[in-house]
Structure 1
Amino acid sequence: MTLPLIFDVVQPAGLKILLGQVPLEAVDLYPVLENVTVNVSRTEAGIASIALTSMRDETGAWPVLDGGYFSRWNPIRIVADFGSYSEDVLWGYVLQVTPEFPQDRSAAKVTVEIQDQTIALDRETKTREWNAPSNDTVMTDGDIVSSIGVANGLRTKSSNGVGLSVTPLAQDKTDFRFITERAEQLGYEFRIQFGEIFFGPINLSGTPQKTLLVYAGPDTTVLEFSIAEEAATPAEAFLSTMQGGETPEPVEARMQPDLKILGRDAAYEEGQTGLPPFSWNIKPEGDPDPDAAQMLAQAKVNEASLSIAAEALVDSTLYGHVIRPGATIGVDGIGQRYGGDFYVDAVEHVFDATGYTQKASLLKNGINGG
């Protein structure tokens, strides 16, 4: 007799911690591990915190501190273990170790702070000029980011943006801060995940991640789900720039969101009948390149169009995967208006005694797609 799927035993999702240049699993730490929290985002550096109980052994040593696990800049990988397979959550480096020795010796603990691989690009200030007049070739922003990646042992995603070709382009800061600044000027996202750089505009295309299921009986994977829809968002924007060489004149360009719509209808178009258009006037600061100003303005309009925000608390054991920021994900069970694909903005991963949960912050620009 075969039991229904509802009676299947699901192996709880767990955690693996790998340390060192040649990653080795730190199994000795698991008995004293209290919790691990990881925060990753499509635009911010990923960070993590590991809390461990600290005990002194019969020789007077404190194994968590004295065992060499968390030496400065030790490479570390946090991995979600789903039994027959595993998925990476964060690759990074040990940045800070905080031991605590309270009056109650049984409450002694160690907290370890970690940052993802972006921190390796934030150690050394580089002074150089890209696309100097003496150079034979002119590099785009995408070429420059790829060159920096290769120099640091990092790959670049094939979907990266091209950016612009600025001649010359001066750098007098760390590679991380230089790329971050260029991303901000272009309206790009910049992140490093698992040895690979993404540097480009919001991308709502591609294959969505496994669908989240709300109120789906035994198939439910979402413990809690909430939505906030903001109506006060622009349907268009007007960018004013000065163009024309020696005698520049103001030029105004009308811009509308150009992202793929995650739904049947664009949310920003709803309710416009009978009302004056909801629009922005964008005036660039300083005297930027007109092409850069237009790219940044388009990115701002696109970002504003993602006016439906949601938060999902996910049981990772039931869901069975690590949710990735910067990609779309389906949501089912919340009705026609809001159902369908969302864009993953950020994810908080929590591993503790109760299991493994993920709190995903989601964005959407469309309605009536469920």
Structure 2
Amino acid sequence: MTAARGITMTVLAGPSVPKPLLPATVDLLESVEITEAMEGRSGFQLVFGASRGSPFDLIDYPLLKERSLAPWSRVVVLVTFNAVPTVLIDGLITRQELQPSQGDGSARLVLTGEDLSVAMDREAKTAAHPAQSENVIASKIILSYGRYGILPQVMPPPVIVVPPPTQRMPMQHDTDLGYLLTMAARFGYVFQVRPGRVPLSNIAYWGPPRLIGLPQPALTVAMSGETNVDSISFRTDALAAAATAGQIMDPATNKASSIAVTKASWPALGRTPALQAWGSDGRQALLDGAEGLTYAQARALAQGRTDSSSQRTMIAEGELDALAYGNILRAAGLVGVRGVGRTYDGDYYVAEVTHQLARGSFRQKFRLNRGGIAALKPLVRP
């Protein structure tokens, strides 16, 4: 399917190993929408025209007979832009919706799905993880899904604790996905399953948001022939960032200790970190959920909450045409913004991108975050 000039899209689908859709099925594909998110699952939606024009189709819609489009089939969407292939989503169909025709030929089959992390959310279980730290447990759980081509990329937490089995045993009373997210939340970490560079390969990332590295090509506003954004708006949320403080009883020493985290440890991506900018006017959150944690673990929990809240201080939302942008904007990385002015120019973390593809069109909606006020540098890399 040709989405736009120089852009082609390929859809693979199947109950086990996905294969290219049949040409007749591709002809019925009207649109594809894919949402990449840094928090929570990424997802997709395929919309097909569902014809029953042949006398042989009186029993049912032909598309409903295709095993490759049935619930729990695997779907891979690949976009080739200027001869460079990019896998946008690798996931499973979780919902099938038929919108029947009223005799005017307007029937639609809508398939909705989520990235492969949904496979980790199908079975709630009780499991013990004796003498294992969070990063070891995360790697072990992820490796058990190797049949999907998922490889772990697990970052060590700021505090690594290996509890002796005689004192405490980490217990899981949740799905694997739920437990991975719970462990990540202790440090303000994220968990994402993202497609790799080639189809059917995936990376399961457990760690802090990637706030360092080379930014993607800049989003340019109001710069004559260099403008590549159709619309963009900015806001500063003074209630987002919160210092975290509270008291805990350290089981290792049996002593009460106070904890106060007033600065974020993640890169602010701006000239002045939010909590520093607000000073005494900033919010303070109470440290809860720290029962049974040592002082080091509780402080890591407080630091993680302060970090993640601060990163949502400055937000940009907008829309662009991929052809005008000249690239494919991806979530969970950095991107520069220029042409707006010193307050809102600079680098941002790409929190979410929604790819909207149809014949002759490839548009993207985006949401960007950062934790610092004003641009960090006077010039933004194009």
TM-score, normalised relative to structure 2: 0.83
TM-fit CA distance, 1:79: 2.0
* Residue 296 of structure 2 is aligned to residue 301 of structure 1: no
Which residue is equivalent to 2:12?
18
Distance in 2 (CA, whole Å) between partners of 1:208 and 1:283 is 34
**Helix, strand or coil at the partner of 1:157:** strand
107-116 or 291-300, larger mean C-alpha shift: 291-300
1:100 and 1:254 map into 2 onto residues whose CA distance is 53
1:246 positional shift: 6.9
Unaligned runs of 5+ in 1: 1-9, 132-137
Residue 247 of structure 1 deviates from its aligned partner by: 4.4
Match of 2:199 in 1: none
Counterpart of 2:71 in structure 1 is 72
Asked if structure 1 preserves the Cα contact closer than 8 Å seen for 2:242 and 2:309, the reply is no
Shift, 1:296, TM fit:
2.3
Q: Which residue of 2 aligns with 1:150?
A: 143
For residues 224-263 of structure 1, the aligned pairs below 5 Å read 224-232=231-239, 234=241, 236-243=243-250, 245=252, 247-263=254-270
Deviation of 1:11 after TM superposition, in Å, equals: 2.5
Return the TM-score normalized by structure 1. Answer: 0.86
The 1:72/1:242 distance shift into structure 2, 3 A limit, reads: same
> Match for residue 265 of structure 1?
272
**Equivalent pair of 1:143/1:162 in contact (CA under 8 Å):** no
Counterpart CA distance in 2 for 1:50 and 1:267 is 40
Report how many aligned residue pairs link the two structures.
Answer: 352
Give me the whole-angstrom Cα distance separating, in 2, the residues matched to 1:247 and 1:270.
37
Which amino acid counterpart does residue 40 of structure 1 have in structure 2? E
Distance in 2 (CA, whole Å) between partners of 1:239 and 1:165 is 21
Output the CA distance in 2 between the equivalents of 1:190 and 1:139: 19
Name the counterpart of 1:165: 161
Superposed displacement of residue 353, structure 1: 4.4
Q: 2:225 aligns with which of 218, 224, 233?
A: 218
1:181 partner SS: helix
CA 233–145 in structure 1, closer or farther in 2 if over 3 Å, else same: closer
Q: 2:54 aligned with 1:58, yes or no?
A: yes
In 2, are the aligned partners of 1:128 and 1:172 still within 8 Å (CA)? yes
Does residue 1:285 correspond to 2:289, yes or no? yes
Where do 5+ consecutive residues of structure 2 fail to align? Answer: 164-168, 196-201
The aligned residue for residue 135 of structure 1 is none
Contact 2:157 2:187 in 1 (8 A): no
Distance change >3 Å, CA 304–CA 351, structure 1 → 2 = same
Q: In 2 relative to 1, CA 260–31 (structure 1 residues): closer, same or farther, beyond 3 Å?
A: same
Stretch moving more, 357-366 or 176-185: 176-185
Decide whether the 8 Å contact of 1:161 with 1:199 is kept in 2. no
CA distance in 1, matches of 2:342, 2:300: 33
CA 1:186–1:299 in structure 2 vs 1: closer, same or farther (change >3 Å)?
A: closer
After TM superposition, what 4+ stretches of structure 1 lie above 6 angstroms from structure 2? Answer: none
User: 1-side partners of 2:106 and 2:271: how far apart?
Assistant: 55
With 301-310 and 289-298 compared, the bigger mean Cα shift is at: 289-298
Conservation of the 8 A alpha-carbon contact between 2:117 and 2:192? yes
Secondary structure of the structure 1 residue equivalent to 2:230:
strand
Deviation for aligned residue 1:217:
3.2
The one-letter amino acid paired with 1:351 is L
Tell me what 2:175 maps to. Answer: 174
Partner of 1:33: 29
Shift of 1:57: 4.1
Aligned residue in 2 for 1:335: 341
Instruction: State the secondary structure of the residue aligned to 1:335.
Output: coil
Secondary structure of 1:44's match? coil
User: Aligned equivalents of 2:251 and 2:186: distance in 1?
Assistant: 22
State the secondary structure of the residue aligned to 1:72.
coil
- Could you tell which deviates more after superposition, 318-327 or 173-182? 318-327
The residue that corresponds to 1:134 in the other structure is: none
